[in-house]
Amino acid sequence: METIKSHIVYGGTLRYLKHDSATTGTSMTLSVFVPAGEGPFPVLIWLSGLTCTEDNFTTKAGAYKAAAKHGVIIVAPDTSPRGEGVADDPAYDMGQGAGFYIDATQAPWTPHFRMESYVVGELIALIDAGFPTTGTRSVFGHSMGGHGALTLALRHPELFRSVSAFAPISSPTRCPWGEKAFSAYLGADRAAWAGHDAALLIEGGAATGVYDDILVDQGEADPFLVEQLKPELLKAAAEKAGQGLTLRMQPGYDHSYFFMASFVDDHVAFHATRLKA
């Protein structure tokens, strides 16, 4: 990986990096924060939401003080492949910036939109090879990235110690954002969609006996709450499956990074406890 720029923050080192991805067939960018010291450190992967790059979380979330305190590496990749020759859509909720952390099976998305394989395969391997990690990791994210964090943790439980989310798309098979993206990326067969729906996966027992608790923060003033996010479906699924879920409805908070910055320390601490258990 090539270092684009580097900063010292809270005694640790924050690097912006890029590399040629064999999975997406494009150049991919990411940021990596490593605490001070020799390590090794556990890893916390952040997945961002629609329209975001690796820079949104890096500059806005304010997570590195807590990461330094708890001795945790934080990795923030871009949300999709980008560049000339990569399929795109004029809408903000499709195409570049909207990878949904799945592997597309439909043209024209198939060649490059393989974000599930990128995160759970190539990205993890690159981080473990290039940084002083313990080989243990957790995952969290926001909105589309909250969906990604939940579904990747549920689909690949052997890879992650814990999972949390801010305002996740809880059930993409039952909301406009998800229905639009899944129709394009995965085709018309709704049975194929179910394997990427956090609420349905939890209801089916994917997290039972794996994760003691799942932490979700949701702003009550979020403009997408009712139509797109539907945390009540996560809650119902967890209750049905007997799965631990801490759903915190936060009065007055919206969908922005101001919301995430207010509670990100709680999430870093939540994961650090489990990563070091």
Residues marked active site are found at 143, 222, 255
SS3 103: strand
Name the strand (E) or helix (H) holding 85: none
Report yes or no: 155 and 204 within 8 Å, Cβ to Cβ: no
**Pairing outcome for strands 12-20 and 2-9:** antiparallel
**DSSP string for 172-185:** GGGSHHHHHHHHHH
* Token pair in block for residue 135: 């080989």
**Residue whose pair of structure tokens reads 């500059």 in the numeric block:** 59
| Phi, psi (rounded to 5 degrees) for 10 | 50, 40
Can you say how many angstroms the Cα of residue 276 is from the centroid of all Cα atoms in its chain? 20
Asked whether the beta carbons of 28 and 80 are under 8 A apart, the reply is no
